[in-house]
Amino acid sequence: MASSLYGVLFLVGLCAPIYCVPPANVPRGGSPHPSSIKSIPTSQVSSRNADFAFRLYRRLVLEAPSRNIFFSPMSVSASLAMLSLGARSATKTQILQSLGFNLTCTPEPAIHRGFQNLVHSLTVPGKDLSLQMGSVLFIKRELQLQARFLDNVKRLYEAKVFSTDFSDTAMARTRINSYVEKETRGKVVDLIQSLDPLTAMVLVNHIFFKAKWEKPFNPADTKKSFPFLVGKGATVRVPMMHQMEQFAFGVDPELNCFVLQMNYRGDSVAFFVLPGKGKMKQLEQALSARTLRKWSHSLQKRWIEVFIPRFSISASYDLETILPKMGIHSAFDKSADFSGIAKRDSLQVSKATHKAVLDVSEEGTEAVAATATKLVVRSKDGPSHPTVSFDRAFLMLIMDEATESILFLGKVENPTKS
C-alpha cells in the first residue's frame, strides 16, 4: 500500500460575540464581481503565495525552534483570501497585504480571479497523482449571510456551504471533524478540539496529495537503522532509503546548501534542501520566491547517490496567535469588520487551526557541480558521482509545476518524532 502525504486544514471559527462591533463607515459593494476586471496571472499569485509561505515558515520556526515544521502554504493562503471576501476596511487590507498584495497596484477583484484560476487548477485526479483542494463553510442556521459573499465564495473558491446547529457544540464539532477526516482519507482527525457556543461560522480548507515517485526507491536498498543527527552531537536511528539515479541537482554556493529535485509522476515535484552544518538559519532567512526560481532554473540532471530517511511527521498550529504577528491584527479582535459576510451580526475570528501530516516512503509521498562544495562526501578512489545524505536537519518543499505553487513546506529536524 502506497504511503501518502495527506493534507492540511485551515480552520477559522468566526464568532458572534456578545458585544457589538460598530459597523465601519465603508461602502458595501467591495467584493469582486465586475467581469471587466481581468485576473492577475496565476504565476503572480503563486509568487506572492511563495513569499507568504516563507514568511509564515520563519514565524513558525520562531515559535517552535528545533522542532519539525510542516504546513500547506496553499491551504492557508486560499483560506485567508476567501475570508477577505467578507472583510471590510482595515481588516480586509491587513489580510491582503499580509498575503503580499498591494491594493494600490492590484485591484482586489483581480486578486480573487487569480486565486480562482489557481484553485480550479489544483484538482488532479489520477492513478499515480491525486491532488484535491476544497473549501467548506459551516454556517450557523440563524446567520443571515450577504448574498454577494455567498455567491463569491462558491463561484471563485468553489466552496461548499452547510447549515449547522452550533448551539449543540458537541454535535457540530463531530460533524466538522468527520467531514475533515473523510476528505483527508482518515489522516487528519480531531482537527477541532472544542467549539465556543457563540461560533457563527467555521471555514475549512482541506488539501489532499498522494503521488508516486517517478523513480521510486527499492525497499530492499533501505538501510534499517541509520544515524540521523539531531541537536548538538545527539543522533537517532532511522530507516534510510537509498538509490543511485539521475536527478536534477545543484549546490547553491551563496547559501551553502545542496538542492535535490525529485519528480513525482504527474506535474508535481519535491525539493530536498540540505544546508551545510551550522547554516540552517542562514538558509531560512534567505528563502524567497526568487530563491526558489533560482534553484528551479539552475539545477542540472546528473547521476547522484541519494540517501533520504523514510519518515512520517505531523504538525498542528494555532494560527490565531501567529497571524497577528504577521500583520493580521484586527480580524482577531473587537475592531474586526466582517460586515461583508453577515447582514446583522458583528463577527470576529476566534480560532484558526492548521494541521498537516506527511508520509515519505520508497514508493512516493502521500502528502552545480558537486565538486564546487566541501559538503560532497567521496573517497579518493571512489566514483565520480556526488553523494548526498540527508542525515541531519533538511527542508522539504512539494510543488505543483503547472502553477508553480508551493503545496507543502516543512523542515525535518527529527524524523522519528511524528
| Look-up of cell digits 545542496 | 258
Per-residue pLDDT band for 6 (boundaries 50, 70, 90) equals very low
| DSSP 8-state symbol, 215 | S
Q: 24 and 216 in contact (C-beta within 8 Å)? A: no
Strands 300-309 and 387-389: parallel
pLDDT at 169 over 50: yes
pLDDT at 20 over 80: no
Per-residue pLDDT band for 365 (boundaries 50, 70, 90) equals low
**Class of domain 5-211+313-359 (CATH, top level):** alpha beta
Q: 338 and 88 in contact (C-beta within 8 Å)? A: yes
The domain spans of the chain are 5-211+313-359, 215-308+368-412
Per-residue pLDDT band for 221 (boundaries 50, 70, 90) equals very high
Per-residue pLDDT band for 136 (boundaries 50, 70, 90) equals confident
How does pLDDT run across 337-351, given as a tens digit for each residue? 989 998 877 888 887
Q: Where are the beta strands (DSSP E) in 281-335?
A: 300-309, 311-318
pLDDT at 30: 45
pLDDT at 392 over 50: yes
Q: 12 and 75 in contact (C-beta within 8 Å)? A: no
Higher pLDDT, 190 or 19: 190
Per-residue pLDDT band for 355 (boundaries 50, 70, 90) equals confident
Mean pLDDT value of segment 84-104: 94
Q: Which of 57-61, 316-320, 341-345, 359-363 has the highest mean pLDDT?
A: 57-61
pLDDT at 377 over 60: no
Mean pLDDT value of segment 134-161: 90
Q: Tell which residue, 7, 2, 3, 1, has the closest CA to residue 408.
A: 7
pLDDT at 118 over 50: yes
Tell me which of 1.10.1660.10, 3.40.50.740, 2.30.39.10, 3.30.1130.10 is the CATH number of domain 215-308+368-412.
2.30.39.10
